[in-house]
Structure 1
Amino acid sequence: MTAASLPLQRIFLLRHAQAAWPAPGESDFDRALDDKGRIEASVIAGLVAGHGYMADRVLCSGARRCRETAETVTRAFGRDFPIKIAPELYHGMTDSYLAVIGAEKNAQSLMIVGHNPTIEELMETLVGPDATWSAISGGYPTAGFAVIDRATGSETGWTLTEFLAP
């Protein structure tokens, strides 16, 4: 699946909020949001809801920190919104993310909740290095939220419409 052939009109990329380091015996997969991460998730949820950026579908890594971030954001819309766990997003590379996105049919917009560095690499694949660098020259922040729209006439087929961060 290539970025240009994705069947969507809008993609939202959300990196999970800040998570605590694993406790002794705890796996990386089970790391929860820490106090700062819960604040970041709440702030980005308010920004996302305030802009009306709700996707038709939400695909989320199964990692606890991603699930907690996705739940906080979808809850901000005041309704129960199903979050589909996509195991491929945990430790997945850009090609895995593109395949997961490409497999979603009958949706105009899709929110991906995942991990860095893949979220940043996916953004660069979709909108190009110049737009990525302009938006996030210091790297993709925790709880960063990119709004990426289908664009006609662009080399990649996508354009960065907005980038929000807590």
Structure 2
Amino acid sequence: MESQQMALHSTSVNRVYLLRHAHSGMANPGQGDFDRTLDDRGYAEAEIVADKAADKGYRPQVILCSTAVRCRQTSDAIRRSLPGEPEITFIDEMYNASEQTYLDLISSQSESQSVMLIGHNPTIADLLESLVGEDDFHSHLPSGFPTAGLAVLSCDASDEASPLKWKVVDFIAP
């Protein structure tokens, strides 16, 4: 965990939004996992979480999203809820990615102070737990990371001599 915190120490990012895609249906016959779409519940979840985030004033400067259909559909709700039609960058490597891939994407945002990742479990949950620690993770998510869950993380960079300390400042669920 410490090495991951240190990797983020060199970036200007001090706010991270981790959004798990909303609920999706089962794959249709002949359809691959990548092409699964949101079901009715998922569309509702995405809209609810996007509206709650907008109401709280959450405005990521950068939004990075998996190219999987269910993530793209979840990002549509985010795009509609934020003023100014934010640009969303779709990244193939986020599908079936490792935690390190997500961490590298955050670390590469040298010009931004806030970044949102719209991705998949278990990677989203694993990354959150690595950044905030097992105790903080389980205190906010005792039943795991739900679909359309949005973790809002902030860091404490007040002490330059110590590693970056990430903490969950909010968690929005549908």
The normalised TM-score by structure 1 is 0.94
Within-5 A mapping of 1:1-166: 2-6=4-8, 7=11, 8-152=13-157, 157-166=165-174
- Give the 3-state SS of the residue equivalent to 1:2 in structure 2: helix
RMSD of Structure 2 on Structure 1 (CA)? 1.5
2-structure distance, mates of 1:18, 1:118: 16
Q: Number of residue pairs matched?
A: 166
2-structure distance, mates of 1:73, 1:92: 22
2-structure distance, mates of 1:59, 1:77: 15
How far residue 78 of structure 1 moved from its aligned partner, in angstroms, is: 3.7
1-structure distance, mates of 2:5, 2:91: 19
Q: Does the 8 Å CA contact 2:5/2:163 hold for their aligned counterparts?
A: no
- Give the 3-state SS of the residue equivalent to 1:41 in structure 2: helix
Segments of 5+ residues of structure 2 without an aligned counterpart are none
The normalised TM-score by structure 2 is 0.90
2-structure distance, mates of 1:79, 1:85: 18
Deviation >4 Å, runs of 4+:
153-156
How far residue 156 of structure 1 moved from its aligned partner, in angstroms, is: 5.5
1-structure distance, mates of 2:156, 2:129: 15
1-structure distance, mates of 2:153, 2:167: 6
Segments of 5+ residues of structure 1 without an aligned counterpart are none
